[in-house]
Amino acid sequence: MGLALDEPKSNDKIFENGGLKFLVEETLMTTCGTVHVDYLDAGPRSGFGITSSNPLGGGGGCSSGSCSSGGCS
């Protein structure tokens, strides 16, 4: 599962929270289940963390819940 800037596509679900828009591909939602995006304030290691109710393996940093390492694909 990756975190990236993107434009809405016809197969995306759009969610808004706190003035931010999140796009999640519908097929990914059926695979991952509920997705949580959190901002982790950790000084120079700050960034977004992504977790899901059905974690995906093999995705680098995202499968462990943090995209701040740049391991997202």
Give the chain's largest Cα–Cα span. Answer: 37
Check residues 5 and 11 and name the one with the higher pLDDT: 11
Residue of 29, 55, 73, 24 lying closest to 65 (CA atoms): 55
Q: Taking the domains of the chain in order of start, what are their residue ranges?
A: 12-64
Amino acid at 19: G
pTM: 0.53
Q: Tokens at residue 61, please?
A: 């940093």
Q: How many CB atoms are located within 10 Å of the residue 7 CB?
A: 6
Q: What is the mean pLDDT of residues 41-59?
A: 83
Vertex 6 angle, CA 56 and 37, to 5°: 45
pLDDT tens profile 21-45: 888 888 888 888 888 888 889 999 9
Q: What is the mean pLDDT of residues 9-16?
A: 89
